[in-house]
Amino acid sequence: MIKRCLGALACVSLTLGLGACSVNPVTGERQLSFMSPEQELAVGAENYQPSQQSQGGRYVVDPELGLYVSEVTQKLAAVSDRPGLPYEIVVLNSGVPNAWALPGGKMAINRGLLVELEDEAQMAAVLGHEIVHAAARHGASQQTRNMILQAGVLAAGLAASQSDSDYAGLAVGAVGVGAMAWQAKYSRSHELESDHYGIQYMAEAGYDPQAAVELQETFVRLSEGRESGWVDGLFASHPPSQARVEANRELARQYSGGVRNKAAFDRAMRQLRKDQPAYEKYQEAQKAASDKDYDRALTLVQQAIDQQPKENLFWELKGQLLMQQKKPDQAITAFNRSISANPEFFRPLVYRGLLHKQEGDAEKARADLEASRNLLPTQLASYHLGELAQQRGDRSAAVSYYQEAASGGGELGQAAQAKLSQLGAS
């Protein structure tokens, strides 16, 4: 974080327009920011859905858990230095232990992190930390810093195709995400500032700040010997260290006691904890699929479904495996179950759309791919929508879709560029 604007960096304009010093609402110190508070809100709102979609979508098996997390968040937000922000939080359906905050107070916590916590106070330590990121305008400050380092180029819009799947060996391939979610890796000073004031928020809200010490101890323990999925998740943006443990311990000594609310947390977590063995089966199935052991993967994911039939991710993986085994009717049935369980997640719509297209049902394919694109634009959906438009003689729509797909790069981008050449629009 740039805490003070010094020398030539004080209120730089660069070539981008207006640069300005702003006051950190939490510390009262000045920091460099090209983003106004109104722009913060707009960026957060614009990026909230794609950020959720690209990281598993909302956890929907137990909606009460989301309400509980939201209630605790609002309790902490009320004692923050910016209580007027439109704070909002969702539980994401991802096993990666992570939590994040967008500019303007839009936040998320993964089920993979919740299952590592022991009580409400530890959860409050996570949420308080993220609220500080929003309240202190860390996102705006970090983005400004990135703008300087990147000569003013903001990473936004349609980006290169990325795999969002750990089982990309399936016949259909990985879904390439087109709309990049906002990703802010905060500086060390941002992280320490959020630790410090997050503990203060916890204490003011009545929680035991010792939970923040335990949280950092848990992160240090979990980071040791973990696979890349863990390191790339929480620990990439919130690197744990013994120094942070000690800093939190020293600050926690300044406060006395507070509640833990373990019983309330245990009640809220009952369903998720009960289903944890099913998610472990799902992860095993993903690993088997990535090793091309599709029969074993199908057996494992069916075991996960038998334990928790309401989980959309389980049905989605089953559908993909059935696609790989050339069983389109059964695959569509599985995707139907996935979409029914969570109609607001883009990925099974993409796969079902591809199946409908493969089976010659152009209208159903178009409807599914468009529905997926409304939730999260993907290079894959754009390319196939281009083909569907070309087949029905709508050159203008085909060109538009192919241009979107081409801008994503990679092999699919090259294929889209070839289609544009055929249409005389390259």
User: Is the pLDDT score of 32 beyond 70?
Assistant: no
Question: Rounded to two decimals, what is the model's pTM?
Answer: 0.85
Q: What is the pLDDT of residue 9?
A: 33
- Give the pLDDT band (50/70/90) at residue 144: very low
Span 91-142, pLDDT tens digits: 999 999 889 998 899 999 999 999 999 999 999 999 999 999 988 776 655 5
Q: What is the pLDDT of residue 328?
A: 97
The b/e string for 199-226 (b: 16+ C-beta within 10 A; e otherwise) is bbbbbbbebbbbbbbbbbbbbeebbeee
| Max mean pLDDT range (93-102, 142-151, 172-181) | 93-102
The pLDDT mean for the chain works out to: 83
Mean of the pLDDT values across residues 399-413?
Answer: 95
For the beta carbon of residue 87, count every other beta carbon within 10 angstroms. Answer: 24
Distance CA 330, CA 318 (A): 9
Q: What is the pLDDT of residue 141?
A: 55
Residue 8 is classified by DSSP as: G
Which long-range CB contacts under 8 A does 292-299 form with residues at least 24 apart?
292/169, 294/321, 294/324, 294/325, 297/167, 297/321, 298/322, 298/325
Span 296-306, pLDDT tens digits: 999 999 999 99
Distance CA 240, CA 189 (A): 13
- Give the pLDDT band (50/70/90) at residue 4: very low
Are 49 and 43 in contact by the 8 Å Cβ rule? The answer is no
Length of the chain counted residue by residue: 426
Domain residue spans of the chain: 7-157+182-260, 276-422
List the CATH code of the domain at 276-422.
1.25.40.10
The answer to which of 54-58, 108-112, 253-257 has the lowest mean pLDDT is 253-257
Span 352-366, pLDDT tens digits: 999 999 999 999 999
- Give the pLDDT band (50/70/90) at residue 155: very low
